[in-house]
Each structure stands twice: as structure tokens, then as C-alpha cells.
Amino acid sequence: MSLSRRLATLSAPSESTTPYGGRSVSWSEVATLWLNLRPLTRRQTTRPDGPPQTTETLEAEARDHPDAALGQRLSVDGQTWRLTAVQRALPAVGRMTLTLERDLP
């Protein structure tokens, strides 16, 4: 994926207790953001209990949004990405740089 501008949905997790004492996580939309995406890396890790896992990493630049935080996720073009880093005021005041990851099948 080359540098491209995409519309993305930012979602945050919400945990609740089930009637039987378990935990349930649901995702709620926080914001819609325009992103400039840049591919960073693909890496493969070996797991002792299964096949190798490939992880893809992107960097995204967007207008700063106060609710953007680690542990959230972004949906872009039907793909879901984990938000692993938020750098505010980069590359300029009023902007933010996000690091996104997803595991490939």
C-alpha cells in the first residue's frame, strides 16, 4: 500500500460483565478520521504452538482527535488495525501520527 488518503473509523472497547460472571467486550465508534497511510513493515514470528504469524505495520497521519488512545482500533477499507502508538503534535501542532498493526492470515 503506497501513501494514500483513506477514511477510517476509530473504535474503543467497552467491557461488561455477563449474567454468569464472565467478561464481554464490545466496540463502540469514537470518531471518523481522514488518514494519510504509509506502509512500514511486515514481520514474521514463529510460535511454538502453531504456524508462523505475519504482522503488518502502518503509520497514519491525521488531524488530532482527543479521544484517540492505545488499545483502540481503526477500520480502514474493511480491514481492522490495532492502534499501538499515538504521537500528538507530530508532524505539526493539531496533527497526530498513529502506528497501526494487524495480523495477516
Q: What is the pLDDT of residues 44-96, one digit of tens each?
A: 888 788 888 899 999 999 999 999 999 999 999 999 999 999 999 988 999 99
Amino acid (1-letter code) at residue 91 = P
Domain boundary assignment for the chain = 4-104
Give the global pTM: 0.84
Q: Per the structure block, which three cell numbers stand in for 102?
A: 494487524
CB atoms within 10 A of CB 57: 17
CATH class for the region spanning 4-104:
mainly beta
DSSP H or E stretch at residue 23: strand 23-45
DSSP H or E stretch at residue 32: strand 23-45
